[in-house]
Amino acid sequence: MNPFKYGQVVNGNDFCPRPALTKSIKDFIKSGQNIYVQGERRIGKTSLIIETIHHCRSKRACYVDLLEIKTTAGLCQRLAKALISFEQQSGFFEKILKSLSQLKPSIGFDTLTGSPTISIDPAIKFTPDSLNGLLDMLLSIHKKKPIVVVFDEFQDILNLREFKEVLAILRGKIQFHNSLPYIFSGSIRNKMYDIFNNPESSFFKSAIPIYVSELDTQCFVNFLKNKFALGKRTITDTAIDKIFSIADNIPGDVQQLCAAMWDTTSYKERFSEKNIPAALKLIFARESKGYEHILVQITELQLKCLVGLAKKGGKSPQSEEFLIASGISLPASVKKALNRLEQLKIVYRYEKEYKFINPFFKSWLIFKNL
């Protein structure tokens, strides 16, 4: 069985320890302090939060994913479903259904697993005020048995047309939930910063920031080597360095490449750099449809810009060297292309450098010699 896990929340032996961050978050939870957790995509924020809560005695996590939330109704529905699913696991299922009867929840069953599923009547008209009752329910649950509320991808709340009103209502309730800790997690630094540090925001200075950066290199290397050892396999230090470079030091992407190396090699094999191309080709085969879909969305100029980023990096995308390498005439054209590629969530800007959201797409562009 492949021991490398990626693209999902991990815990236990699949979680690479972050002792300092874990201790900080745990201490804040115990004191009832609200925090906001920031970090790049696939850096391991959600796993860190859930694993830490798991180790807080008597605490339970009520997890609400706000990724790509578009409407206030969608926000209310996700919070309601989180409450219902949470109480189902906690043994208060019938009580929570009765408490939220105005939402007309209906119970179904997953055809594959047989597990119960919950749906909310789509005819229900949610407004920002609908949040009040749902937030009151969180506090009611917490008084019976302590919980920690996790709003993941919280920055996407800014997608809502009424985001200012929604944030004001959330803040108005949460500030009185003194013993109930809230954790707000987000991937897009400028948006999260705006919510919690802009004096005009309702959430201004309402939570303590926690920054999640790359894992301690040696700790992560030992973690990976121990995973390979489960199949009596070893890996050279130069191969690990190459993996980290290709995956841009993002833990989730590092594990994805390691998983592909595991799938393309044999029991008791010693991994080296020569094994990496086969692993990348496996990833390309699995993700090529997604890559091709990106090409359909972009213009020829934007593709030239991407190829330039893949070959020359994103630190100086308007330099003469970059223009020559990409075949683009004007720096202004590069800037326009980059803005669009950011909007399409193909690249992102981090510390004055443009990076690929998916580093393997970058490797694929070079592999295809586009």
Is the torsion defined by CA of 122, 124, 129, 135 positive or negative?
Answer: negative
Q: What is the rounded distance in angstroms from the CA atom of residue 274 to the CA atom of residue 278? A: 8
Q: Per-residue DSSP letters for 77-120?
A: HHHHHHHHHHHHHHT-HHHHHHHTGGG--EEEE-TTT--EEEE-
From 138, 28, 25, 150, select the one nearest 80 (Cα to Cα): 138
pLDDT of amino acid 153: 95
From 176, 211, 170, select the one nearest 193 (Cα to Cα): 211
pLDDT of amino acid 102: 63
Name 50's Cβ contacts closer than 8 Å, sequence gap at least 6: 9, 11, 61, 63, 150
pLDDT of amino acid 284: 97
For the chain, residues classed under CATH 1.10.10 are 217-368
Q: What is the rounded distance in angstroms from the CA atom of residue 145 to the CA atom of residue 186? A: 27
- CB-based contact 6:227 (threshold 8 Å): no
Q: What is the rounded distance in angstroms from the CA atom of residue 273 to the CA atom of residue 241? A: 9
The three-state (H, E, C) secondary structure of 257-316, written as one string: HHHHHHHCCCCCCEECHHHHHHHHHHHHHHHHHHHHHHHHHCCHHHHHHHHHHHHHCCCC
Residues of the chain with pLDDT under 50: none
pLDDT of amino acid 94: 61
Q: Which residue carries 């809502």 as its tokens?
A: 160
∠ CA 286-343-150, rounded to 5°: 75
pLDDT tens, residue by residue, 288-333: 999 999 999 999 999 999 999 999 999 999 899 999 989 999 999 9
pLDDT tens, residue by residue, 61-120: 999 999 999 998 889 888 887 887 766 655 555 666 565 666 666 666 666 666 556 666
For residue 222 the two structure tokens come to 């030992």
pLDDT of amino acid 144: 83
pLDDT of amino acid 82: 83
Q: What is the rounded distance in angstroms from the CA atom of residue 90 to the CA atom of residue 336? A: 51
For the chain, residues classed under CATH 3.40.50.300 are 17-212
17-212: CATH superfamily: P-loop containing nucleotide triphosphate hydrolases (3.40.50.300)
CATH topology for 217-368 is Arc Repressor Mutant, subunit A (1.10.10)
> What phi and psi values does residue 72 have, to the nearest 5 degrees?
-65, -35
- CB-based contact 181:149 (threshold 8 Å): yes
- CB-based contact 252:6 (threshold 8 Å): yes
